[in-house]
Chain A
C-alpha cells in the first residue's frame, strides 16, 4: 500500500462544477464502480472508502489497473481526500504519488463539486492527464447525474 503524503503546498490545479443533484448523490456516483465506469474513462473504482483504505480503478474493458491509491479521508457527503498514483501507462507510472481533494457542498438545490490537486510537478505526464482529462470526468459525471446517460464515448 502507498504511504500517505504530507501536503504543505497550495494546489497545483483546481476545477469546479455545479451539478443538479444532492451531495449524497454525487458522493455515491464517485464511489460506486457502476457509476465511475460511465464517466471515469471506463474505470471501476474499488474501495470501502474508510480512512486509510486502499483504492483502485480497474478498466472495465480489459481488467487492467489504471490507478492505485489510498483513502486519506472519507467524510460522506462532504470531503474525500485520496492519494493516488496513475499507472495506466509507463509515463504516468513514472510520476510520484499525488493528492486529490474532492469537496462537495450544497448550494441551493445544487451540489458544488471542487476537485483540487496537490504535489504534482507542472510538466509531468500526470499533470497533463489531469488537465486534459478532468473536464471530461466532471462534465461526464454532471451529464450522468442530470440525464441518466453518460457522455458519448471518446
Chain B
C-alpha cells in the first residue's frame, strides 16, 4: 500500500466502495467466521468463481479500505477482518444516540440516588 492509500483508507468512501461488492462481503464473511486465513486459502475458496489474481485484487481493495489487515508469518500472508472502520461508522451515526441513552440512564440513576438520600434524611 502507498502512503496515500493509508490515509485515504481512513475515509468512508473507500469503506463503502469496498463493501458494495458481494464477493468482497463474502471474503469478510469467511474471515469473520475464521480469522487469519491465508491468501492461498481464500483464493482456493473462490477458485470456482474467479482467478487467484481476481481474489488478490479484491483483497487489495479491502486492505486499502482498512477492512482487512494482513500479517506475514513465514511464507504465508494471513488476513484478518478489522472491525475498526465499521465501529467508526457506528460511532458516526449511532454513537450520539448511545451517548444520549447513557446520559439519560446516568440522570435516572442520579435522581434515584438523590431520592433515596432524601428518603434517608426524612427517616432520620
Contacts and interface: CB of A to CB of B under 8 A. Distances in A.
Contacts of A110: 6-7, 10
Interface residues of A, number: 25
A108 B87 contact: no
A43 to B, nearest CB: 19
Q: A interface, by DSSP: helix, strand, loop or mixed?
A: mixed
Interface string A12-35: 111111100000000000000000
Interface string A89-111: 00000000000000000011010
Nearest to A101: B71
B118 interface: no
A18 B69 CA distance: 12
A4 interface: no
B6 A18 contact: yes
B102 A107 contact: no
A153 B102 contact: yes
Interface stretch (B20-28, B42-50, B52-60, B75-83): B75-83
A17 B36 CA distance: 18
B79 to A, nearest CB: 9
A108 B3 contact: yes
B3 A16 contact: no
Contact of A15 (B7, B9, B69): B69
A10 interface: yes
Contacts of A116: 71
Contacts of B116: none
Contacts of B3: 107-108
Interface string B57-71: 000000000100101
Contact of B71 (A10, A17, A112, A138): A10
Interface of B: 3, 6-7, 9-10, 35-36, 66, 69, 71, 73, 76, 78, 80, 82-84, 87-88, 91, 95, 98-99, 102-103, 106
Given A107-B6, A112-B6, 20 more contacts: A10-B36, A10-B76, A10-B78, A13-B35, A13-B80, A14-B35, A18-B9, A108-B3, A110-B6, A110-B7, A110-B10, A135-B83, A136-B87, A139-B84, A139-B87, A152-B95, A152-B98, A153-B102, A153-B106, A154-B102
19 contacts: A10-B71, A10-B73, A10-B78, A11-B36, A11-B78, A15-B83, A18-B10, A108-B7, A110-B6, A110-B10, A135-B83, A135-B87, A139-B88, A139-B91, A152-B95, A152-B99, A152-B102, A153-B102, A154-B102
7 shortest interchain CB distances as A-B pairs = A14-B80, A152-B99, A135-B87, A10-B73, A107-B6, A16-B69, A18-B10
